[in-house]
Structures are given as C-alpha cells and as structure tokens.
Structure 1
Amino acid sequence: MSTQDEILAVLLEQNGQPISGQALADQLGLSRTAVWKAVEGLRQQGYQIASLSKKGYLLERVSHTLDAQQIKRDLDAPFESLHVALYDSVTSTNDLAKQFAIQSPGQAGLFIARKQTQGRGRSGRHFHSDIASGLYLSVVFQPQVTDLEEVPQYTLLAASAMVAALEAASGQRLRIKWVNDLFCRGRKIGGILTEATTDIESRSLSSIIIGIGLNLSGDFSQAEASTQSVAGTLFGQEMPADFNPNQVIHDFLKQLAYYIRTLSDKTYLPHYEEHLLGVGRQVSYQQAGQEYTGIIQGITDQGHLLIQDPHGQIRTLFSQEVHFSSQQFADDLD
C-alpha cells in the first residue's frame, strides 16, 4: 500500500472528523513532510481535504475516479482482505478473475474496468461493452458450499445486491429479468455472468466468479439493431456529476457479503422477488430447442422460475436450460 493509500484509509476511517498531521505521522510511522506530500497528492487526484487550524486534516469530498481504498474500506467476510485491481480496458474481467483464482487460491479478488473488448454473457453470448460510460467488474471468492448445483444461486445474490446499490445511488427503480439481467425504465442496463472453478480431484467448487456489466450513460446509436431495441443506460446520455462508482461497488460488496454469509437462510430471496420482472404476464421462452409460452408466477426457494403453462400447470424452470429473449421485456415498466 502506498503512502497516499495509507493516508486515505485513515482519513476515510475518521468519518468526517479531522485528524492532525502529527497524529497521522505517528500512526503510520511517517515524517510530517511525507504526510503533507501525500495529502497534496490526494488533492491532485480530486479529493477535497481541508487543513483546519489546530485540528488537522479533514476529508470533505472523495474522488469519483475508481479507487481501491474507497471500495474495500470496512468490508466484511469474505471480502475483508480483498485484492483490488483497476483497469481502463481489458478483454474480460472474468478472465482476469479466473487467472487470479488459479494463482491465489482462497483469496478474494476484485477486477474492475471501464471497457471490455471481449465481454460475454450466459451461454457465451456477446455482451455489448462499448459505451461512453460503462462499468465492468468481476469478483472472485471461495464459496461456503461445495455443490455445483448451488452455483446458480450466486447470480441471484449478485443481482439483488447490485440492484440495492444502484437504486440507492440513482434513485431509480430497477427490475431483474430472471435470472441475470438488470432493467431500468424498460431497458436492459446490466447483466451478470456467474462462473465457477472446480477442484478436479475432489470434484468440488474451489471458487465462484461473478461478473457484472453495467451501462451507466451514453447511447447505442452505433450498435446493432437487436441491441438498440432493448439496451439502455442507468442515467441516460450524461453521468450525474455527483455519481461515485466507488460507493456503488462498495455498497454492492457489502450487501453481497451479507447474502453470502446468510446463504442458508435465503436472505436475498425477498428482495429478488420484489424486483422480479414480468410476474403475472405471459412470456415466451426456449427450452431444449422448443418454443413455449406461460405466465410468470414467481421463484422457488432455490431461485428457479415458476411459470404456469397454457394448461394451468405450474412448471419449474432451471436457468441452465432456459432462454428468455430480453426484447419481450423492452419498454415494460411494470
């Protein structure tokens, strides 16, 4: 951790209270000159740090550029020792997370980029990652469960946690299209891809990787017609000046950590069900190469979709076997 990162971590922990330069120097084992230089460096990065007479330094406003210290402060298990890596552009954050899982088994990691060149969604589908202001991240951690059948639940956990973080930051109402798409104002503004690595010898889970792509602002005028018909952004054309992506990511991880620790209690389910898109409406879907229709009823305790077929029978659909076209939910403001 750099001197600037150490200083910032202490200022964040102060929660709006000043701390003297001497106290910073003593706590971190630095000279007063080193403290002053670090504070000046933080100011140049966009942090508003006041120098108060006889009181010391006060962090008045944080920077809105991606910053590991803001993101990982006071996180809970399994992210209390989170490794954070930031990039301008990558091929795929999930690929970076997979490499990290192999090189650092058992350690939690977070990989964030402003742009992806080879983003993908479920079943290897292309995920459009070329927009003015996007946010793409992947978090990898060691799961509490070892059964591969439990993996799909992590998509629901992540969707619930990210919706909570985005609603708090934007004031917008979001919906979740089962199982992994995030909608706002009738447009798809994000998607989630959950993957896992396994131990070959024990045939058990060794890590979970959750990748999330978000469209924050911009337009899709240059995208393919199929993308234009359903894609949207959280904020429209322009990003609000007061939007801090670090706070969103921090809040997401904080909520996700809680859902992971309470997985056996299914604490994520009520929030997911509350935001489930299309309940009570007729939809079409593909399963095993066949087209079906039905009315969405809700989800099971395991996160599987309940749908009423044309004969009145309730069927349970599994995410690995079913595909719902997002186009049929476009402009749906339920």
Structure 2
Amino acid sequence: MQKPELFEKESINETFVRKYFNQETEGLSLQVFPVVDSTNVLLREQAKEGAPAGTVIIAGEQTAGKGRLGRSFYSPSGTGVYLSLLLRQEEPDADLTGRITTMAAVAASEAIEKVSGKKAGIKWVNDIYMEGKKVCGILAEGSFSQARGILDSVILGIGFNVFLPGKGFPEELSEKAGAILDSYRDQAREQLAAEFLNRFFYYYHLPDHKSYVEKYRERCFVTGQKIDVVTPAGRRRALALSLDENCRLKVRYEDGKEEDLSSGEISIRPVGNWGK
C-alpha cells in the first residue's frame, strides 16, 4: 500500500463524488466536510431546522462517530468515508427504519463489489463483511413527529473502511475490522460514496420496496449458522433458520422455541471467513 502519509490527510472531494452520480442522485443536496464529530448528529440538527429530504452529509473523518447500541464507530482521517442521508415520509410507515437498514445493506454490498471487484456479504442485520472482516457499518435512526403521531423522518448513517489505517486498527478492532481495498486508489472513497447513494436511491424509489429482499437473502451469510442472540438480559444460543419477505430472521432457541427477529444483534459462533 502507498505510504499512509501520502493520503491520510486528503479530504473527500465533492466534485469527484458528483462525477459518479447518476440520474437517481444528481439532484441531492450534498455537503462534504473534512471532519465532523458525527454525520448523523450534524444531519439531525439540520433536520430539526427543516433540511429537505435527500440532504446528504459526507465526511472524511469523524471524531465521535456513532455505532449501534450507543457504541462509537472508529472513523480515522483519510482511510474511510462516512455519510448520512435524510429521508422524510408523508404517510405513516412503522416499518420504514428497518426497511431502510436492509435496503442500505444491499446497496452498500453492491457498491463495495463495484469498487473493489470482490464479493461482499451481509451479517444480519446491517454489517457488511469481506473475507471474514467487517468493512462497513450501518445505523438508521428514526424521529417521530408528536404533532402528526407518525415516524416523520429517518437518518441513515453508514461508514466504510476503504483503506487500512497507517498504524492499523485499534487493538480491540484488529481481529474483526478490515478494509475494502488492499492499496490506495485515487477517488476510491468518492466513487464508493456515490455508488452507494446511486444504488440506495434506485431501490428506495422503486414502487415495490421489497424488490431488494432476494438480493439481501443471497448475500446474508447467517442462515444455517449457530448464533448467539444478544439482548439486554444476556445471550441466548440459537440456530438461524431463514429470512422472510421483510428480512426478519427466524431463529430456533435451544429450548425449541422459535422467534422472528426484526432488529437486534447477533454473533456467529464461530465467525467464519465467508467470502474467501
């Protein structure tokens, strides 16, 4: 890989992002920053001030990146791309957040495959893996309108590990985190951001919102695996059986009881090198 100091100070270039946009995305309201605390937090502030649907914030670094379940998301300078987009709805749709998460997982996988030429797989519900390593995480946060009594908007955040950090990942991430590309490539981060948005909005604008589900199923490597279902009360061992038309994961616990999970966290025992 090219020496880290040659690219870790480079910012995301808005012109290059727009260069890869297609008809689905050319009208987006796009903001690009070298560094923010969190793209989701910044976009939430703008949403409260009336930012329109389709507003996108992209950053080359986050100092307080957000992950699921209150965790932080490691977002170093120059090696990844971190973005959030704002979606609004006029009609009630309680399933919007979950659908957006799984839709984004398909779009992210396809974008990664386009840029890298390698296969990407989905660990239910919203982590993207390559060769046994997590390279992308997704976080969708809904906001309810008290006046209207419905889910008013969703902020979708996604972070891609494009290149390996010069000093590697922190010790606590070194065993499970990976990078999409083996070596530095000009405009790779800009192309990846644009390809993701192109694909996401293609699926989002289709009349049949379930048209992406089969692609999700094809890429999800969890079914058939022994897993732990992680809850606030602890872990429960289970077998992942199948995914339904809403990408809910059917599991069978050790006591024989079955459950359809629409959200949550699982771990695979052991984590395999899917995609190698």
Q: Normalising by structure 1, what TM-score? A: 0.71
* Contact 1:136/1:211, CA 8 A, preserved across alignment: yes
* Contact 1:116/1:129, CA 8 A, preserved across alignment: yes
What does 1:110-125 correspond to in 2, within 5 Å? 110-125=56-71
Query: For residue 257 of structure 1, what is the amino acid of its counterpart?
Result: F
2:211 to 249, 252, 267: 267
d(CA) in 2 for partners of 1:69 and 1:232? 25
Shift in Å at residue 265 of structure 1? 4.1
The reply on whether 1:96 has 2:38 as its aligned counterpart is: no
The reply on whether 1:172 has 2:114 as its aligned counterpart is: no
Moved over 6 A (4+): none
d(CA) in 1 for partners of 2:86 and 2:92? 15
SS at match of 1:136: strand
SS at match of 2:173: helix
Query: For residue 238 of structure 2, what is the amino acid of its counterpart?
Result: G
The reply on whether 1:248 has 2:192 as its aligned counterpart is: yes
1:67 to 10, 14, 23: 14
d(CA) in 2 for partners of 1:100 and 1:68? 22
Shift in Å at residue 219 of structure 1? 4.1
Shift in Å at residue 144 of structure 1? 6.0
2:241 to 273, 290, 297: 297
Shift in Å at residue 164 of structure 1? 0.6
SS at match of 2:112: helix
d(CA) in 2 for partners of 1:74 and 1:174? 23
Shift in Å at residue 264 of structure 1? 3.9
Greater shift, 190-199 or 101-110, is seen at 101-110
Report which structure shows greater RCO (CA 8 Å, sep ≥6): 2
Q: State the Cα RMSD in Å.
A: 2.6
Provide closer, same or farther for how the CA distance between residues 263 and 324 of structure 1 changes in structure 2, counting only shifts above 3 A.
Answer: farther
2:93 to 142, 147, 166: 147
The number of equivalent residue pairs is 265
Provide closer, same or farther for how the CA distance between residues 240 and 208 of structure 1 changes in structure 2, counting only shifts above 3 A.
Answer: same
Provide closer, same or farther for how the CA distance between residues 265 and 89 of structure 1 changes in structure 2, counting only shifts above 3 A.
Answer: closer
d(CA) in 1 for partners of 2:50 and 2:131? 40
Question: Identity of counterpart residues, as a percentage?
Answer: 26
Provide closer, same or farther for how the CA distance between residues 120 and 326 of structure 1 changes in structure 2, counting only shifts above 3 A.
Answer: farther
1:329 to 267, 271, 275: 271
Provide closer, same or farther for how the CA distance between residues 169 and 160 of structure 1 changes in structure 2, counting only shifts above 3 A.
Answer: same
Provide closer, same or farther for how the CA distance between residues 327 and 90 of structure 1 changes in structure 2, counting only shifts above 3 A.
Answer: farther
Provide closer, same or farther for how the CA distance between residues 206 and 75 of structure 1 changes in structure 2, counting only shifts above 3 A.
Answer: farther
Unaligned runs of 5+ in 2: 1-10
SS at match of 1:159: helix
d(CA) in 1 for partners of 2:221 and 2:86? 27
Shift in Å at residue 223 of structure 1? 4.5
In the alignment, which residue of structure 1 is the partner of 2:6? none
d(CA) in 1 for partners of 2:91 and 2:207? 9
* Contact 1:135/1:213, CA 8 A, preserved across alignment: yes
The reply on whether 1:126 has 2:72 as its aligned counterpart is: yes
* Contact 1:285/1:292, CA 8 A, preserved across alignment: yes
SS at match of 1:279: coil
In the alignment, which residue of structure 2 is the partner of 1:279? 223
d(CA) in 2 for partners of 1:235 and 1:325? 25
* Contact 2:36/2:61, CA 8 A, preserved across alignment: yes
In the alignment, which residue of structure 2 is the partner of 1:239? 184
Query: For residue 67 of structure 1, what is the amino acid of its counterpart?
Result: E
Higher helix share: 1
Shift in Å at residue 258 of structure 1? 2.1
In the alignment, which residue of structure 1 is the partner of 2:144? 198
Query: For residue 195 of structure 1, what is the amino acid of its counterpart?
Result: E
Provide closer, same or farther for how the CA distance between residues 286 and 107 of structure 1 changes in structure 2, counting only shifts above 3 A.
Answer: closer
d(CA) in 1 for partners of 2:74 and 2:123? 17
Unaligned runs of 5+ in 1: 1-63
Provide closer, same or farther for how the CA distance between residues 314 and 194 of structure 1 changes in structure 2, counting only shifts above 3 A.
Answer: same
